[in-house]
Amino acid sequence: MTPADLAAILCGGLVGLVLALVGGGGSILATPLLIYVVGVSSPHVAIGTSAMAVAVNAFANLIAHARAGNVKWPCAATFGGSGVLGALIGAAIGKQMHPAILLPLFALLMISIALTMLHPNAKEGDPDAHLTPKMAPRLIGAGLAVGFMSGFFGIGGGFLIVPGLMLSSGMAMLNAVASSLFSVGAFGAATAVSYALDGMVDWRVAALFITGGIIGGLIGAPLSKKLATQRGLLRRSFAILVLLVAIYILYRSWAG
């Protein structure tokens, strides 16, 4: 095993651990870790590889929520179906973007995520919400917009999908988090396929990253229960970390 292989496993483990501890938004670290720690030279390959890893991990986490009955399948399918189209459009445009433009935009997105995590929405929503004809256009529109962002940047987009589902359907936070995993997986898979068709996925690194993510998730699950009362502090700490990484990306981009 090479040092790069070990780095891929450790970075995947870190992302899996963060996702288990703080929830949505953790996968935003995948692309910068692949570029600056694992050593993936092309930002486009890093985005494609990250999207593949995010998709696999999201579908794996979806299983437990589905068994618990937390997923609002009609809403999730409507949002996710339209979002896949948005993700394919976003990925097609993102692949044409020069890294000198793409990475700073990615850093600005990270800053917006961090600010959102520092000021979370406390709205709980309705646990009995269900798909209606009036609700469907809102879900489709939100899915297209969020899917585009996910495909363009190669991210899971859970931090956008959860509020998007809540705003367009009125469902409860627990249901939105569970239902978002379907879209995270679908958007990631669509993005990864788009990049893979152009040879922009490093399958070896993706497999190692996913392996590390599973291990990190298994470690983080029991820790999450023990640190449940510190969830707010964990999210704020992670938001600060995301801000620092974003600043580093901007520095590296502008310093050449």
Cβ neighbour number for residue 69 with a 10 Å cutoff: 9
Amino acid identity of residue 176, one-letter, is A
The reported pTM is: 0.84
Q: What is the pLDDT of residue 172?
A: 86
The dihedrals phi and psi of 126, each to the nearest 5 degrees, come to -105, 115
| Nearest in space to 45 (alpha carbons), one of 154, 158, 148, 150 | 154
Query: Quick one: the chain helix, strand, coil %, rounded to 5?
Result: 80, 0, 20
- Tens of each residue's pLDDT in the chain, 256 residues: 899 999 999 999 988 887 777 666 667 889 999 999 999 999 999 999 999 998 888 888 788 888 889 899 999 999 999 999 999 999 999 999 998 899 899 999 889 888 877 876 656 678 888 899 999 999 999 999 999 999 998 887 777 888 889 889 999 877 888 898 899 889 999 999 999 999 999 999 999 999 998 898 888 778 766 776 776 777 788 788 889 999 999 998 887 6
| Nearest in space to 146 (alpha carbons), one of 168, 134, 161 | 161
Q: What is the pLDDT of residue 203?
A: 96
Amino acid identity of residue 155, one-letter, is I
Q: What is the pLDDT of residue 225?
A: 67
Q: Are 179 and 38 in contact (CB under 8 A)?
A: no
Residue with tokens 């585009």: 148
| Nearest in space to 127 (alpha carbons), one of 64, 163, 176 | 176
What are 171's strand-pairing partners?
126
- The gap from C-alpha 113 to its chain's centroid, in whole angstroms, comes to 11
